Chains A and B, each alone.
Chain A
Amino acid sequence: MAANSLISLAAELLSGQIRVVDLTQTLSPDFPQIALPPEFGQCWPFRMEEISRYDDRGPGWYWNNFSCGEHTGTHFDAPIHWVSGRAVPNNSTDTLPVQNLIGPACVIDCSREAKADPDFLLTADRLRQWEAEHGRIPPRAWVLMRTDWSKRSDPVAYQNYDETGQHTPGPATDAVKFLVDERDIVGFGSESIGTDAGQGYHLKPPYPCHYYMHGAGRYGLQCLTNLDLLPPIGALIVCAPLKIKNGSGSPIRALALVQN
């Protein structure tokens, strides 16, 4: 039975009945990384050093060394990333159940609200409204907050800092609690840097999405793109982090399978 559905999946991929959408930003030195107050430790940006390029350093081959943080570019947050998830079982990139890394996606389109207000917070009420239109969010689903933030190709606009810090959309505290406690989702994804809003530090608790999601052993996806190519329901997400021992996250190649 399972073999049959996978064989038909393969056939539909081949025929183009099922499209694969790339939800990943390109890893490049120009893509901005999260910035903390300078006295704190910092996440490395993506950097690349050429090892050789068909030259004296290696005549027949081209390759690079790269460096980045676990939370650089489009990336996955494991529960161990946050202090609330430090004691959750199987909370790191090497121990988390891989079964969780492929699952259905519910895409909440907040692009209109985020355009009007960079500090837009997705509330539980707004989620219930979405459910009234598209049906109940199924258990173990990924909930992706579409804001079209990824279309801000200028890093300055993407980061959107002013003298009070970063202004990017994210979920309100009640939305996070609703998704974890009442809908049992597997993870939350966003288009900006951070599953939490840019001003999430001022919410209660600070950074509620990190706090509750990871505290409950759930995951985060950040810096996603192309969410506007996904249907509200019906897409399948593939988002496997690198198997880093005791890792708190990893850059990923996030993919979505979408039926034509």
Chain B
Amino acid sequence: MIPPLVRPKLKNPILRTPLPVLPPWMRSRAALGLTAAAALGQFRLQVCGECDAVQYPPRECCHSCLSDQLRWREQSGSGELISETTVHHSQDLYFSERMPWRLGMVRLDAGPTVVVHLHGGCAPAPARVRVGARLDKSGQGVLVAFPIDEVLNMADDRQLREMTCDPKFRKVLVTDGKTGVGQAVVRNIIAAGADLVWVGYAEPWKTFAGLTELAAQPQVAMLPLDLTDSQSVKTLAAEIGGKVDILINTAELHRAHGIASRSGIEVARAEMDVNYFGLLRLAQEFGPVMRSRGADGQSSATAWVNLLSIYALSNYPRHGTFSASKAAALSLSQCLRAEMRPGAVRVINVFPGPIDDEWNQATPQPKLTPEALAKAVVRALKDGVEDVYPGDVAQEWLLRWQESPKTLERELST
């Protein structure tokens, strides 16, 4: 029985805000393969290419035949919880602050026995469980055993919440509420239980569809925010930065041009100003304060979401300058991720294919609806993943890119 999450009391302003400390984060290069899969929401283990033995923990050579032909392969995670321990004392700072902590051993049907964090819904050993990979507060892949069947308040489990960025009872900043995507994100984040959503909007004299409905929601506070204006970002961070638990950067500028289809650099510069420098401005002003609040109670600062594009992986020449600006943003988001990690704030990058909006009007279907994109963002927060590729186009391009970046480049250039 997992107690439901309740709205936390207001913060006691005379107490020191606890500093974020991280669970053990050192990993071998081989073990980072588990992290890489968990970042996508997948549970992978190495499998021997010669004898098919499934490996755990990650290693250089097969434990059975010493072959070095180990391949990461997705696992179902089904297995048997064979023992469990509730830890009441730890020398580790992170765990000592979070006692008691339930751990277990699961014999996977695939072979190996793994050490897991035990979800509160799991019956006492022996019991059937499903093992999944999650990112912990240090951003490293760890294994969690879940009950086979959904239990009540599944997401509210205290230990699981250390691995996720659930918006429930949290305060969220959505940086641009003028777009269909921005508005869908606001709707869905409210539906996911957010307490308060600040919604930025630039150039208020340009009216936009959906404003009235957006502003009418009781959780919404509309605020002026223009990512091209350093002073605007600085001012807003000074006003609300210390309260933002989740920042979702939906602001983007998208024009469909390559190099030759538009003379001059003004459009490309405008794209960079929002998509790259806008992120940099946000990161400089909101990053430090969010990083300092990574352990600020139940509703701590927990996540930073960037709306990137699948074109960030490989340039789509018809949207060439936009692709370049998103590639720059992707690179910067990796820097941001490294800088936010000590503060236990997860940076989530979203890589949609073409979104169904006015700037992709002439792009043939399939296009990702703002609603589907928003749902993917909320899902990513609840699952605590780092990289999301929502929709068929993004999924397909990702696979092609993983297989051969050069091949994809050639395919996109025709």
Measured CB to CB, the residues of A under 8 A from B are: 29, 32, 35, 39, 41-42, 45, 47-50, 155-156, 158-163
Query: In chain A, what residue has the closest Cβ to B231?
Result: A29
Whether the pair B204, A156 counts as a contact (CB closer than 8 A) is yes
How many chain B residues sit at the interface, stated as a range, is 10 to 19
Whether the pair B207, A162 counts as a contact (CB closer than 8 A) is yes
Which chain B positions have C-beta within 8 A of A45? 228-229
Whether the pair A41, B267 counts as a contact (CB closer than 8 A) is yes
Q: Check: B252 CB closer than 8 A to any chain A CB.
A: no
Which chain A positions have C-beta within 8 A of B369? none
Whether the pair B206, A35 counts as a contact (CB closer than 8 A) is yes
Q: Check: B266 CB closer than 8 A to any chain A CB.
A: yes
Q: Check: B239 CB closer than 8 A to any chain A CB.
A: no
7 CB contacts below 8 A, A to B, read: A29-B229, A35-B203, A45-B228, A47-B229, A47-B230, A48-B230, A159-B205
Which chain B positions have C-beta within 8 A of A161? 205-207
Whether the pair A155, B204 counts as a contact (CB closer than 8 A) is yes
Distance of A204 Cα from B278 Cα, bound (Å): 41
Whether the pair B228, A42 counts as a contact (CB closer than 8 A) is no
Distance of A161 Cα from B206 Cα, bound (Å): 7
Query: In chain A, what residue has the closest Cβ to B232?
Result: A29
Within 8 A of A (CB), among B11-52: none
Given A35-B203, A47-B228, A161-B206, 17 new contacts (CB under 8 A): A29-B226, A29-B229, A32-B205, A35-B205, A35-B206, A41-B264, A42-B266, A42-B270, A47-B230, A49-B230, A50-B230, A155-B204, A155-B205, A158-B205, A159-B205, A162-B207, A163-B207
Distance of A159 Cα from B207 Cα, bound (Å): 11
Q: How far is the CB of A39 from chain B (nearest CB, A)?
A: 8
Distance of A29 Cα from B281 Cα, bound (Å): 15
Within 8 A of A (CB), among B185-232: 203-207, 226, 228-232
Which chain B positions have C-beta within 8 A of A159? 205
Which chain B positions have C-beta within 8 A of A158? 205
Whether the pair B203, A32 counts as a contact (CB closer than 8 A) is yes
Distance of A160 Cα from B205 Cα, bound (Å): 7
Distance of A111 Cα from B279 Cα, bound (Å): 43
Which chain B positions have C-beta within 8 A of A49? 230
Query: In chain B, what residue has the closest Cβ to A157?
Result: B205
Distance of A161 Cα from B232 Cα, bound (Å): 22
Q: How many A-B residue pairs have CB under 8 A?
A: 36
- Cβ-closest 5 pairs across A and B: A159-B205, A29-B229, A156-B205, A41-B266, A155-B205
Distance of A35 Cα from B202 Cα, bound (Å): 13
Which chain B positions have C-beta within 8 A of A160? 205
Q: How far is the CB of B131 from chain A (nearest CB, A)?
A: 50
Query: In chain B, what residue has the closest Cβ to A39?
Result: B255
Q: How far is the CB of B413 from chain A (nearest CB, A)?
A: 25
Which chain B positions have C-beta within 8 A of A32? 203, 205
Chain B interface, DSSP helix/strand/loop, else mixed = loop
Measured CB to CB, the residues of B under 8 A from A are: 203-207, 226, 228-232, 255, 264, 266-267, 270
Which chain A positions have C-beta within 8 A of B264? 41
Which chain B positions have C-beta within 8 A of A48? 230-231
Distance of A32 Cα from B264 Cα, bound (Å): 24
Q: How far is the CB of A19 from chain B (nearest CB, A)?
A: 32
Q: How far is the CB of B201 from chain A (nearest CB, A)?
A: 11
Q: How far is the CB of B302 from chain A (nearest CB, A)?
A: 31
Which chain B positions have C-beta within 8 A of A29? 226, 229, 231-232
Which chain B positions have C-beta within 8 A of A50? 230
Which chain A positions have C-beta within 8 A of B231? 29, 48
Which chain A positions have C-beta within 8 A of B267? 41
Q: How far is the CB of B334 from chain A (nearest CB, A)?
A: 24
Distance of A42 Cα from B228 Cα, bound (Å): 14
Q: How far is the CB of A150 from chain B (nearest CB, A)?
A: 15
Distance of A39 Cα from B362 Cα, bound (Å): 14
Query: In chain A, what residue has the closest Cβ to B269?
Result: A44
Which chain B positions have C-beta within 8 A of A156? 204-205
Which chain A positions have C-beta within 8 A of B205? 32, 35, 155-156, 158-161
- Residue picked from B203, B204, B207, most chain A C-beta under 10 Å: B203
Query: In chain A, what residue has the closest Cβ to B267?
Result: A41
Which chain B positions have C-beta within 8 A of A155? 204-205
Q: How far is the CB of A89 from chain B (nearest CB, A)?
A: 27
Q: How far is the CB of B325 from chain A (nearest CB, A)?
A: 16
Which chain A positions have C-beta within 8 A of B270? 42
Query: In chain A, what residue has the closest Cβ to B253?
Result: A38
Distance of A47 Cα from B229 Cα, bound (Å): 6
Q: How far is the CB of A11 from chain B (nearest CB, A)?
A: 42
- Residue picked from B205, B206, B207, B267, most chain A C-beta under 10 Å: B205
Distance of A47 Cα from B207 Cα, bound (Å): 22
Query: In chain B, what residue has the closest Cβ to A161?
Result: B205
Distance of A35 Cα from B231 Cα, bound (Å): 21
Q: How far is the CB of B262 from chain A (nearest CB, A)?
A: 9
Query: In chain B, what residue has the closest Cβ to A50?
Result: B230
Distance of A160 Cα from B255 Cα, bound (Å): 26
Which chain A positions have C-beta within 8 A of B232? 29
Distance of A41 Cα from B267 Cα, bound (Å): 7
Distance of A49 Cα from B231 Cα, bound (Å): 8
Distance of A184 Cα from B412 Cα, bound (Å): 59
Q: How far is the CB of B266 from chain A (nearest CB, A)?
A: 5
Q: How far is the CB of B296 from chain A (nearest CB, A)?
A: 29
Q: How far is the CB of A104 from chain B (nearest CB, A)?
A: 34
Distance of A177 Cα from B408 Cα, bound (Å): 60
Which chain A positions have C-beta within 8 A of B228? 45, 47
- Residue picked from B229, B255, B270, most chain A C-beta under 10 Å: B229
Query: In chain B, what residue has the closest Cβ to A160?
Result: B205
Distance of A233 Cα from B394 Cα, bound (Å): 67
Which chain B positions have C-beta within 8 A of A162? 207
Q: How far is the CB of A51 from chain B (nearest CB, A)?
A: 12
Distance of A29 Cα from B226 Cα, bound (Å): 9
